[in-house]
Amino acid sequence: MTLDAATTTLPASGTVRLAAESVSLAYDDRVVVRDLDLQLTDGSFTAIVGPNGCGKSTLLRALGRLLRPTEGRVLLDGRAIARTPTREVARVLGLLPQAPVAPEGLTVGDLVARGRHPHQSWLRQWSRDDEAAVAEALRWTDMADLAERPVDELSGGQRQRAWISMALAQGTDLLLLDEPTTYLDLSHQIDVLELVARLHAERGRTVVVVLHDLNLAARYAQRLVAMDDGALVASGTPEEVLTEQLLADVFDLEARIVPDPVAGTPMVVPVRRLR
C-alpha cells in the first residue's frame, strides 16, 4: 500500500492535471482533512472511498476550488487553482455537487445549456459551439427526447443524467462528481456509472468521483483512493487498495475479498462489523 500516488503507475501515466499539495481543510475551526497529498494524472478515472465523515466530499470540494485550503494548495495543470480566475478553471474542470438543486420549472434543455456559462459572454450568449456542445451532451446522455421536460418532473435517474449532461456540455477535460449515485436504485446507479465510464473511455475525460459503494467503485474506477479520518490511507488499483486488512482498519468491517464474477475486479463480501 503506497501513499505516494505518483508511483502508482496507471494506464494513462501522463502528466499530472490536478494535485493537492499538503492540503489541510477545515470548516470554521473544525479541521476535516490534514496535510494530504494527491496527484491525478491525465485521463485517469479515480474513485475516492471511505467511511461517512472521513472528509472525501470535502477533499473533492477543495479539488474543485469550492473550498480554500487552510494550508497547502491545489494545483490545476501546475497552477495554483486559487490564483486562477474561476472562469478559466470552469473551462477545464467541471464539477457536480452532491444532490444539486434545479430551480423549479427549468427544462432539461435549459439546464444543460447553463453548462455553457463559462464559454459565454454578455454578447455571445448562444454560439454555434454552444449549441453543438449542448446537443451532443443531450444525445450522449440520451436526454434529447426529454429536453423540453422540466427537470423537477424527471425521475431520480433521469435527473442525475440531466446534471451529468450539463457537466458534459461544459466541455471540460476534468470532471469531479460527488456521489452521483446517491438516492438511485441499483440499475440507475449502474446506468450513471456506465455513463461516466464511457465519458472516460470514449471521450478521454479525467474523472474523479466520490463513491460510497466499494464494489461499484472497484468495478468502474482504475484507481481507488481510500480515506479515513481526514487522511489518505491507501491509493492504487482496486486490487491493491481493497484488502481485508484495509476494510478492517478503515471501515471496521470483517470481510472477504472475492473476484467479481462479472468484471474480475475485487468484490467485498461483508462478514460482520468489528468493534
Interacting residue ranges for other proteins, rule: CB under 8 A: 27, 30, 32, 51-58, 61, 64-67, 85-91, 93-107, 109-110, 113-115, 117-118, 120, 122-128, 130-132, 134-136, 138-139, 144, 147-148, 170, 182, 212
Euclidean distance between CA atoms 206 and 203, whole angstroms: 9
CB atoms closer than 10 angstroms to residue 89: 21
Q: Closer CB to other proteins, residue 73 or residue 114?
A: 114
In the complex, minimum distance from the CB of residue 261 to other proteins, in angstroms, rounded to a whole number: 28
Q: Closer CB to other proteins, residue 263 or residue 274?
A: 274
In the complex, minimum distance from the CB of residue 31 to other proteins, in angstroms, rounded to a whole number: 11
In the complex, minimum distance from the CB of residue 62 to other proteins, in angstroms, rounded to a whole number: 11
Q: Give the Å distances, CA to CA, from 18 to 38, 58, 143, 167, 181.
A: 8, 16, 30, 18, 23
Report the amino acid identity of residue 255: A
Q: Closer CB to other proteins, residue 145 or residue 254?
A: 145
Euclidean distance between CA atoms 75 and 83, whole angstroms: 10
In the complex, minimum distance from the CB of residue 70 to other proteins, in angstroms, rounded to a whole number: 13
Q: Closer CB to other proteins, residue 131 or residue 194?
A: 131
Q: Closer CB to other proteins, residue 45 or residue 163?
A: 163
Q: Residue written as cell 495543470?
A: 77
Q: Closer CB to other proteins, residue 75 or residue 106?
A: 106
DSSP secondary structure of 147-206: TTSBGGGS-HHHHHHHHHHHHHHTT-SEEEEE-TTTT--HHHHHHHHHHHHHHHHHH--E
Count the residues in the chain. 275
In the complex, minimum distance from the CB of residue 263 to other proteins, in angstroms, rounded to a whole number: 26
In the complex, minimum distance from the CB of residue 38 to other proteins, in angstroms, rounded to a whole number: 16
What is the Rg, in whole angstroms, of the alpha carbon atoms belonging to the chain? 19
Euclidean distance between CA atoms 270 and 255, whole angstroms: 4
Euclidean distance between CA atoms 261 and 266, whole angstroms: 9
